[in-house]
Chain A
Amino acid sequence: MHRLYNSVEPRVMDEDMLKLAVGEQGPKEEAGQLARQEGILFKDVLSLRLDFQNILRIDSLWQFENLRKLQLDNNIIEKIEGLEHLVHLVWLDLSFNNIEAIEGLDTLVNLEDLSLFNNRISKIDSLDALVKLQVLSLGNNQIGNMMNIIYLRRFKDLRTLSLSGNPIAELEDYKMFICAHLPDLVYLDFHRIDDHMKELAESKHQYSMDELKHRENLIQAQLDDERAQQEELEKHKAAFVEHLNSPFLFDSMYAEDVEGNKLASLPGVSELLQAYKDKFVTICLNIFEYGLKQQEKRKLELDTFNECVQEAIQENQEQGKRRIAKFEEKHLLSLNAIRDESDLINIEVKILEYSEDITELFNVLMTLEMQLVEQLEETINMFERNIIDLVALFIENVQSLMAQCRDLENHHHEKLLEISINTLEKILKGELDEDLPDDLRALFVDKDTIVNAVGASHDIHLLKIDNREDELVTRTNSWCAHLVDTIHKNEMMRNRGRVKEISQYIDHMQNELDSLECSDVID
């Protein structure tokens, strides 16, 4: 089965070999003459055949960026490699080689037909990137485990599969198992699967299939869930208020607050803390809702703006197109007239007239464009003002809500301080009844310590709140700046593109006229 590649000299895939192949397989006859005249660039080649070349290692293919079909069959390749750049590849033939593992195909997302017939592969894997796979040929390999079939379930477009000549093909249940597990398959080992067979297989493997499907569904549902959550979070992030609909911020305030946590076990503090938390979360929720609402508003504003701008541009384009169409109609006539005219003076006159027409068209088109630029600039400025106002309002309101948070924190702090000092006094007087944890008791040494501890907790809290606020403000502002910037940039690009287009067109027209003049002079 395996050729003894020792007996033949392995060849290297080099430039010469590829050139030869390209030249041989390139266009024939008249086209071939032209091709030879001009030379063929590797990147223009769509199909390449390199069979029976004794290639040991795939190499030097990086230039063939547009290759659609590649045949490397009947070589002595041992490893799939060097195909990373051939992203447009649709058809890949690696049959009759010495490949032992499937690998190096992760970039070939367009691959539809893959042949690995007669190799030494024992496991089907590393094909995840090949979402469009339709035909898979894995015959005459060493696949021995039925579980490889389950891996193939992920290819929704797979219609043809060949696995004959593998150890699993010897198994009694081989066909049934495949039919049951790949119900969309049409051809197996180059035979059409009939409906009767499918039914039989289905009934035979119903239990295991059901289980499998159930598991797959569960996984799918989980994935969907995660995706939905992710999307939700993205949406919140776009509104700059992520996590504010939960006690996340409050929890984060206490996450690094050692003293605060210790103090929480003081008598009376837990109730205080609970009330504080409730109020705090309510304000957070307010911020969250307000943020979403503002996000909607901004989106609406942006959509209206985009729509209007698009309309304006479309209208302008239509006008331009009409002008050009009109011109072209006239142009055809006048070109013919000039060609037919025999009188030199008349030709001169007509050419002059024509070039005037061209100039006029240029002027008209440029005027249109300038007009549009002016109009758009005005609109963009208006939009800029509005969006900045909106953002400012949003920030202001959020800041005021945040200030409420801070007030709450201050209030809480005072209360806590009061309780702490009271407790300290009690401890100093020895009146305290309850037992306090040791680490907490350590804080109640003197007034400074306890005040410092409470103060530290307070500082941490304030810091957290400030950080969140800062983050929100910075992100909002940067979003706004970025948006405005992008709009300006896009408009500039559009303007440049249009001006370039117009001048290119006018140049072309002028050139045509010039060439006519030249030929006339020559004539």
Chain B
Amino acid sequence: MEVLKEKVEEEEEAEREEAAERGKKMMRPVEMRREEPPMTQEMLRDLEKKLSEIEIVIPEQPSIITKDTIDISKLPLSYQSNTLKEEHLLEVADNFARQYSHLCPDRVPLFLHPLNECGVPKFVSTTIRPTLMPYPELYNWDSCAQFVSDFLSMVPLPDPLQPPSHLYSSTTVLKHQKGNCFDFSTLLCSMLIGAGYDAYCVNGYGSQDLCHMDLTRDVCPLTMKHKEVVQEEEKVPPKKYTIKPPRDLNSRFEQEQEMKKQEELQGEEERRRKEEEQRLLEVEKAKTDPLHGLRVHSWVLVLSGKREMPESFYIDPFTARSYSTQDDHFLGIESLWNHKNYWVNMQDCWNGCKDLVFDLGDPVRWEYLLLGTDKAPLSVAEEEDDTMNDDDNDDVENLGKEDEDKSFDMASSWVEQIEISPEAFETRCPNGKKVIQYKRAKLEKWAPYLNSNGLVCRLTTYEDLECTMTLEIKEWFQNREDTLQLRHINKSTGLNIDYFKPGHPQALRVHAYKSMQPEMDRVMEFYETARVDGLIKREETPKTMTEYYRGRSDFLSYRHVDFGDRVKKLALNSAESNPRPMVKITERFSRNPEKPADEDVAERVFLIPEERTQLRYHCRDDHITASRREFLRRTEVDSKGNKIIMTPDMCINFEVEPVEHTKKLLYQYEAMMKLKNEEKLSRHQAWESELEVLEILKLREEEEGAHTLTISIYDTKRNEKSKEYREAMEHVMHEEHLRQVEAQLDYLAPFLAPFPPGEKLTHWQAVQVRDECLSDFKQRLIDKANLIQARFEKETQELQKQQQWYQENQVTLTAEDKAWYLSYYSQAVFRMRILEQRLNRHRELAPLKYLALEEKLHKDPRLVEFLEVFI
């Protein structure tokens, strides 16, 4: 291997040297294309020569799939040779290339028939193998592109200024999971055409970022915030009887002046912000690329029309991003092809791809290789229109003409069917891991079940461009048993937010916290429909706890508890054993439609140390004030020493409409007693809430520690139970099979062994074999009987010995020994009886078995012909 590598390196060395020379040649067409060279050609050539020399110094990554890693011999025949039609096609292509170089001498040679992995030249169009994948996820272009970009790891072109010399089949590329941009786009194109898109592979020039799959200057799509669509409220036209607003007594002039001032200030602000942005952009802008416009890249073009695509666009196969055809990253197109034809761009690319018209039927703009394409030329009148939609019309008009007048059609693809195994599809990235660096962000992806904690994706956002200061981390999880879905860690504030899917044992939905210690700042949100108490949200600070409820039968919607300082105790000082004293409990209730507003409590405040209770009732529909009531519990003693139960000043009332019966002390007393009980209840509930928080925290800690993953019952590979079951079944099958094999055991084999196999036996030999077999069997039967007999005798002797010993020592024996002897005796008798039975049975069966064997031997195909004669 070492030697091989050196060889490869040597080759690359040579290639690099060549590249320098070619670089010089290459310049010419580019210059021609640029209509307004800013400098004299001499200077430019000089400069570019220098620059290209610098470029050469940069060591290139050696291509990892080399010819030698591919086992050519296992590839199908179509890979190793060309059919007649393909040969013909290659001739046509060569002819075309000759004419082309003759007509356009200053353009680079066409990328027509690179060598495949077997070193056979293959036309590029036949390398595209349209395939529809059996995964529904891969039916749309975005998911397809994402898959290709995830599945393959990128290898830069050996020479960034030239298309590669080899173009491997998609099957090989998929096997090795790596490839250059041409491999990427060929695979993607095959999949897209298979899915019904009008897709083309493009050979062209791209920006440095594009060619190196460098996303560090792009904003990560995951960090982009969705713009909230502001729904403008429809202004209801004022109705006929809408009241007139009160007269506005403010000066309009002053208002206008104020507005003007505000606008000026805003304008100033805006300008400053813009300048700031400009400055930032300047900083972020990368240094210019010396090889700008020369870097060869391949991507996919999807034309509008099929699959209801409204517009044509590019897909960069490395990043799976779609770009408009006017994008700055794409600097020129040499040629493009699909599985049917090959087109050469005849349009000028001085302005990148911005002015290109993708009307492939127009022979002035696109030179086709094969006649009879499905792209008919546009009419002359429409030629000025640069819109892409024209293609649609032509498609429809020329549907009928497609088949006629085809002088030569494209050979079918030599590539095998593209196949992706479900395992590979699930693992996606090579080794199941992928890292993408974005501008101020890093995205890591893993295959499901690869990480033991279920982590599948992590997005790290940085503050600076060098990615040293972490701003926040977002982690996505899958298949976790605690249904954790997303964890958001904000490094600057230290705030962690966990998001859960429905199904957490505590119905947790969101958990925002800074530390897992109880009685700290935290917010928990719940799936309230999964909870009996209808809790939506619980917010905690060190001194307070606020709970929000919905849909409770007691109409409680809000509870706020203020805690005081914990009373110091010498004993255990945990939250559970020594709860903090509650100072104030505020509860709010929504309106109970069954009660009149004056009796429906809206807010209840228990001031616990003061023994004061404040009630505020709901407001009636047509009122602006609400009833209020305040109870002050005091235990006082009157002059005679009797306890005062209730005095009018213990209850302060404000009633919207005074009612007689509420003035009564009895009523107030009863209300107060009821409140006393309710206060107890509320305190208890608050205490329970505290306990629940502790419990949840404990549970979360356990879950975090265990981080078990759930496995779907349909996942037969990962599901242990089903796997065990399956293995058990297989085991049973295997044993069954073994038994069958045993049943077919050849009893004649040892006796036939001395004779050479394949040769026919003589009569005498046959008889000998049979007799030997029978006598052997007889001997075995006798041996078996003897064995049983021997065992029986041994057992009898033993028993006699024991009996003797027992009788001798009967007097001195302990109870234990006695018991032991008795049990031994019964067992021995049992064994003897069994042996006796077995012997009898053997005696009965032996002759039968003997006869059966004889019969079998008679019918044995190897002996039968001799024995029959004998009989």
Contact = CB atoms under 8 A, between A and B. Distances in A.
A501 interface: yes
A309 B241 contact: yes
B244 A378 contact: yes
Contact of B625 (A37, A382, A383, A505): A505
Nearest to A509: B654
B241 A31 contact: no
B229 to A, nearest CB: 28
Given A38-B664, A501-B656, A31 B243 contact: no
Interface stretch (B132-140, B323-331, B665-673): B665-673
Interface string B662-701: 0011100110010000000000000000000000000000
Given A371-B246, A505-B625, A321 B619 contact: yes
16 contacts: A27-B670, A34-B666, A37-B665, A44-B661, A304-B241, A305-B240, A307-B239, A308-B240, A312-B243, A313-B622, A317-B624, A324-B624, A375-B244, A375-B246, A494-B622, A505-B625
Contacts of A311: 242
A478 B55 CA distance: 102
Nearest to B614: A332
Give the interface centre of A33, A320, A383 by most chain B CB atoms within 10 Å.
A33
Contact of B243 (A35, A376, A497): A376
B645 interface: yes
B595 interface: no
Interface in A310-360: 311-313, 317, 320-321, 324
Contacts of B645: 30, 33-34
Interface of A: 27, 30-31, 33-35, 37-38, 40, 44, 301, 304-305, 307-309, 311-313, 317, 320-321, 324, 365, 371, 375-376, 378-379, 382-383, 494, 497-498, 501-502, 504-505, 508, 512
B646 interface: yes
B622 A34 contact: no
Given A27-B666, A34-B645, A44-B661, A308 B242 contact: yes
Interface string B619-646: 1001111000000000000000000011
Given A33-B645, A34-B645, A379 B241 contact: yes
Given A34-B665, A308-B241, 5 more contacts: A31-B673, A308-B243, A501-B656, A502-B625, A508-B654
Given A34-B665, A324-B625, A378 B670 contact: no
B489 to A, nearest CB: 38
Contacts of B625: 324, 501-502, 504-505
Query: Top 8 A-B pairs ranked by shortest CB distance?
Result: A320-B624, A308-B241, A375-B243, A312-B243, A505-B625, A305-B241, A30-B645, A34-B666
Contact of A30 (B240, B664, B669): B669
Contacts of B661: 44
Interface in B210-267: 239-244, 246
Contacts of B622: 313, 317, 494, 497
A494 B665 CA distance: 33
Contact of A378 (B243, B619, B656): B243
A371 B622 CA distance: 17
Contacts of B240: 301, 304-305, 308
B163 to A, nearest CB: 73
Contacts of A320: 624
Give the interface centre of B239, B241, B646, B666 by most chain A CB atoms within 10 Å.
B241
A301 B240 CA distance: 9
A521 to B, nearest CB: 17
Contacts of A309: 241, 243
B669 to A, nearest CB: 5
Contact of B666 (A38, A305, A307): A38
A30 B242 CA distance: 58
Nearest to B642: A33
A307 B238 CA distance: 12
B623 A501 contact: yes
A301 B244 CA distance: 18
Interface string B794-830: 0000000000000000000000000000000000000
Contacts of A33: 645
Nearest to A31: B669
Contacts of A498: 624
Contacts of A378: 243-244
Nearest to A66: B661
A317 B654 CA distance: 19
Contacts of A321: 619, 624
Interface string B255-299: 000000000000000000000000000000000000000000000
Interface string B650-666: 00101010000100111
Nearest to B660: A41
Given A304-B240, A308-B241, A505-B625, A34 B246 contact: no
Contacts of A301: 240
Contact of B239 (A308, A313, A504): A308
Give the interface centre of B624, B661, B669 by most chain A CB atoms within 10 Å.
B624
B646 A34 contact: yes
B665 A382 contact: no
A438 B246 CA distance: 81
Nearest to B624: A320
Contacts of B246: 371, 375
B673 to A, nearest CB: 8
Nearest to A508: B654
Contact of A383 (B241, B623, B654, B664): B241
Contacts of A34: 645-646, 665-666, 669
B670 A31 contact: yes
A311 B622 CA distance: 12
A35 B666 contact: yes
B660 to A, nearest CB: 9
Contacts of B242: 308, 311-312
A38 B665 contact: yes
Nearest to B654: A508
A379 B246 CA distance: 13
A494 B241 CA distance: 18
A122 B667 CA distance: 45
A31 B665 CA distance: 9
Nearest to A315: B243
Contacts of A501: 623-625, 656
B633 to A, nearest CB: 13
Contacts of B619: 321
Nearest to B242: A308
Contacts of B666: 27, 31, 34-35, 38, 40
A308 B243 CA distance: 7
Given A33-B645, A34-B666, A382 B624 contact: no
A378 B247 CA distance: 14
A376 B652 CA distance: 36
Contacts of A508: 654
A122 to B, nearest CB: 41
Contacts of B654: 505, 508
A110 to B, nearest CB: 15
A27 B668 CA distance: 13
A324 B619 CA distance: 12
A213 B136 CA distance: 58
A312 B244 CA distance: 10
B66 to A, nearest CB: 79
Contacts of A376: 243
Contacts of A35: 666
A375 B646 CA distance: 49
Nearest to A318: B624
Nearest to B643: A30
Interface in B537-556: none
A324 to B, nearest CB: 6
A371 B666 CA distance: 43
A320 B242 CA distance: 19
A245 to B, nearest CB: 31
B721 to A, nearest CB: 41
Nearest to B664: A38
A310 to B, nearest CB: 10
